[in-house]
Every structure is written in C-alpha cells, then in structure tokens.
Copies of this chain bind each other. A is one copy, B any other.
Amino acid sequence: MTKDLRVGVAGLGTVGASLVRLIERKSNALTARCGRPVRVSAVSARDRTRDRGVDLSGMAWFDDPVALATSADVDVYVELIGGEDGPAEASVRAALAAGKPVVTANKALLARHGVELAALAEANGTALFYEAAVAGGIPVIKTMREALAGNEISRVYGILNGTCNYILTRMEQEGLDFSDCLADAQRLGYAEADPTFDIEGFDTAHKLAILTSLAFGSRIDSEAIYCEGISSITQADIEAAGELGYRIKLLGVAQRTDSGIEQRVHPTMVPKTSAIARIDGVLNAVAIDGDAVGEVVLVGPGAGGDATASAVLGDIADVARGHAIPTLGMPADTLAPYEAARMRRHEGGYYIRLSVYDRSGAFAEIARIMADEDISLESIVQRDRSRAGDLSEPHSDAPQPVILTTYETTEAAVKRALATIMARNVVAGDPQMIRIEKLR
C-alpha cells in the first residue's frame, strides 16, 4: 500500500466541517478508490474552542494557515478560508511555492489571482484544483479542463448563483415581490445579511471569469465582466416574460464573438422550452457549447456544505491518484490575452418595458424611434388588457405599461433608442430592459 495522503484543511466553516466528516466516514471507500488512505492530518481555523460537531483529535492544530500550508506533515493543502486576499491568498501561495498541491473552493481568489497562481503551481511542479469554486457539487471544472479537452468552446453559460435563482423562482411561482423573496431567502440561510454580492451578480461574475478562461484559453479578467443584478426585476417583468414564452434567469454568459469575447452577467429572458429555463430554486446549471460534442448541460446543487465538500473531495482524490492538470487547462504562459468584446456591440433580442403616457401618438413615436435605429419590433403590447385595440386613444393621464420585444439588434442601438425616447417626454420613470438569449 502506498503511503497515506495527509490532508491539511484550513477553514472549518460549513464546508470545512463537512469535509472533515466525509473523509472520516468514507475512509475505506477512499482508500479503495484512490489507491491509498486519505486522512486529515492537520487543521487550521480562527477559533480553536468552537464546537463544529467534528472530532479534531489526532489532527495537528495550526493557528497560522501559512504554517499549515507549508508543514512537512501535510501532502495536500485544502484552503477553505475564503476571500481574495489575506490568509487565503498567502497560504495558497506558500503551499504552491513549496511544491505542494492545493485544493480550494475560493472563487474570488481564482478570479483575481488565478493566472499568477497557475504560473506559480507550474513553476513549482505542482497543481491547483478548484472544482468547488464554481457551481458547488457540479463537476464543471473537470468537464471543461479534461472531458472536453478536444473541443473548441463557443459559449458557456449558466445559472451560477443559487440565491438569485431561488428568488426568481419564488417570484414566478408565487407571484411575490423581489423584496419578500429576498427576506425569505435570508431567513432560510440562502442569502447573506448583506446580499449585495449575490443579488448584484458579483458572485456569478467571479465564477464566470474562471469558466471564460477555461472555455477560451484566455487570461482571467473578471474586471471586464458586464454585470447587472436582479434587484430591478419586478413582478410585471416576470408576468410579461411568462406571456411571451420566456422565464427570467440570472445568467452568466461567456461567448466568442467576431469582436472578441463577451462576458456578461444579467437577468436574461430564456425560452421556457430550454433546459436552463427549467432549473428551479437553489440549483445551479452550466451549459457548454463545444464544436465536437454539441451542447452538454450539467445540473446540480451549487452550494451547501456536503455538496461543496463533495467537489473538494473529488479534487483530493485526483491529488491522491497523482493527477496534475494545468490550472487553467493549458500552461499559464500560453493563455491568450483577454480580448473583451464591448457590451455595446452585444447582439441579441431585447425586452423593453416602458411606462407610456397614454396620449395620442406616443405609440407611433416610440415605434418610429425604434425604426430610426433599425430596430425591428417583434411585439408591442399594452399591458392593460381591458383597453387592447384602443392603443392610440387617450384615456387617462396615468402612464400605462407597454412591453416591446425586438428582433436581434445591437445593445448600442437599443441604448440610443431608449435615450431618445426618454428625451421626448412620452414615458414616465426609467425603462426596464432585459436581454433575450437565444438557446436551444
């Protein structure tokens, strides 16, 4: 029997505690599958006295994760501290510099320092694994780095944040407002007390930045991501989407275009018939379009202690088996510079909701402004159904909601048209604009 793989775990929150428990419970199966025993030999966390429901006896305790990461009694360093800098970064760098393989669930760290860390791992002949950093228990990193190595990827997109998907699902299924759903998500532990990071799309953006690099062999650039969250989505949008044959999902989309790579996170109208439309609640899903394979879709739990620990444990099994893969799928110095497509050049269909002062001629004016920008309208609907067929007649001074959808056009044209409409004093308040994604 080969000698034990000694695992050092820094960070004993929900995921860390799950991991320690799983390794203990699955000792025999892991030995059979990995060809050698796997055991946690050392841990590090902030508070040594806290009861985490796991037995830490027999494991060395380190107050300093950097010391744990470089300990001669640890064969693989597992970083579950979190945060893009600070002790997480310092300890991961220290482990890699010492030639020790690292497993992490830290998307922020990868999104910010991924390319440097990849180079550091290579320079020291070791490997960095991070399956748990994107879409929790779903094996999307392994699928992209390994299974689809023979594919050129044209697009990768997905539902990468369970909090947002939970909120959007409940808004649709129960007709609730955004704020009520958010409050429930917080009560149930699906959303943080400060939910900004999730609901404004930043969490999705971090994950997308990693997938983009894997898809296109480009350097990670999370700063270049166009990012729009879900807090502006109203019940009126959800209902209109349903009537138009769509559902609204917060998608992260990375796509190769003629003008460069698009990376965008925004609420998206997806056809009800698409696979991604049917992902409800806290589930995550990732779809990968490869030139050889076609489209592969992976669905599963995107968060949770055990599901995330499952991904970490899969990485540990790879380490135990002696596998090494370039961190970002190819050597760091061969990654292409990231060439951002400008969001204004994004092409697609658009959903637009306006509050129109219902005076004579407003409809004609909006339609003409759209036509002037070469935007073809697919539909135009006044939402007050009682007055359908009576579009040009003045009725009251209260603005009426009007929903437009466009055929494929450019973001720039839509933005110009909306600016013109706003300047004409025919609409009240800000327009709502949601992109429509073409999906199978």
Contacts and interface: CB of A to CB of B under 8 A. Distances in A.
Nearest to A288: B300
B299 A297 contact: yes
Contact of A334 (B32, B217, B310): B32
B278 A331 contact: no
A329 B33 CA distance: 6
A149 B38 CA distance: 12
A300 to B, nearest CB: 4
Contact of A150 (B138, B297, B313): B313
A326 B298 CA distance: 24
Interface in A216-251: 217
Interface string A61-100: 0000000000000000000000000000000000000000
Contact of A142 (B35, B143, B299, B307): B143
Contacts of A306: 291-294
A198 interface: no
A29 interface: yes
Interface stretch (A162-170, A317-325, A364-372, A394-402): A317-325
A404 B81 CA distance: 55
Given A26-B152, A33-B329, A146-B314, A299 B301 contact: no
Given A146-B317, A331-B35, A151 B310 contact: yes
A294 B283 CA distance: 11
Interface string A33-62: 111000000000000000000000000000
Interface in A103-151: 131, 137-139, 142-143, 146-151
B311 A149 contact: no
A275 interface: yes
A300 B299 contact: no
23 contacts: A22-B150, A26-B152, A32-B217, A33-B149, A33-B329, A137-B296, A139-B139, A139-B143, A139-B296, A142-B146, A147-B311, A148-B310, A150-B309, A150-B314, A275-B278, A275-B299, A292-B306, A293-B306, A293-B311, A294-B304, A294-B307, A296-B301, A321-B323
A180 interface: no
A295 interface: yes
A354 interface: no
Contacts of A151: 310
A332 to B, nearest CB: 11
A300 B292 contact: no
Contact of A29 (B152, B311, B314): B152
Oligomeric state, in copies:
2
A30 interface: yes
B22 A292 contact: yes
B294 A137 contact: yes
Contacts of A23: 150
A292 B317 contact: no
A109 to B, nearest CB: 21
- The winner among A142, A143, A309, A318 for most chain B CB atoms within 10 A is A143
A101 interface: no
A413 interface: no
A330 interface: yes
A297 B286 CA distance: 11
A256 to B, nearest CB: 14
A260 to B, nearest CB: 19
Interface string A150-185: 111000000000000000000000000000000000
Nearest to A279: B275
A311 B147 CA distance: 7
A271 interface: no
A216 to B, nearest CB: 11
Nearest to A274: B278
